[in-house]
Amino acid sequence: MKSDMSELVERLIKIGVLKTSGLIEAFLKNDRQNFVPGIYSWRAYENSPISIGYSQTISQPSTVAFMMELLQPKSGDKVLDIGFGSGWTSGILSVSVGKNGTVLSVEIVPEVYKFGKGNLSKYHYSNIEFFEGSWTDLAPDNFDCILVSAGADSTVPQKLALLLKLGGRLVIPVNNFSGQSIRLIKKISENEFDEYNYPGYIFVPLV
């Protein structure tokens, strides 16, 4: 008998936003119901955002799948997850990068940090490191992938893009005249980046 999570994953595959076998496995291993507040557990498998309190949400599953496919995390990658919120994205990334990879999970809202870290404790992932505060306070480092689950102003913060390794990928929502776009940034040389824009999304502000 199929679980509700497997049915959600099948729907994401059917609508074409979840495609990669490694990501499909990572979604299946991170049951969304374990990352939503108990009062909303009955809504866990809806394709919609859900409030986790403090003006924050766990994003719509199709949006998370779309962003993960743009990010393309792979085994052994070093990943930065900014605004990890409920912890769901960090759990997906943890499985995607495997035991040889690492995930640095950053959350600035103390109550949300506690909530997300508590949710992830159910899984005992050994490759996740947590940071409570702003990504701007991180020690200098470089990452293969950076996922941001909050909307930046009209431009991608340069300091954030510079955290990418050569060949690295950054996926971040950015404000535009009609709402927000998800933007994919690829670092192709030390001073050059390719950018791709996907409009039609709404996220909480990046702080």
Of 180, 195, 196, 206, nearest to 63 (Cα)? 180
The angle subtended at Cα 125 by Cα 121 and Cα 129, nearest 5°, is 85
User: Is the Cα dihedral 49, 89, 7, 197 positive or negative?
Assistant: positive
Element (H, E) at 112: helix 110-121
Tell me, yes or no, if 59 is annotated catalytic: yes
Point out the catalytic residue in the list 41, 48, 55, 59. Answer: 59
The Cα 41–Cα 70 span in angstroms is 28
Point out the residues that are catalytic: 59
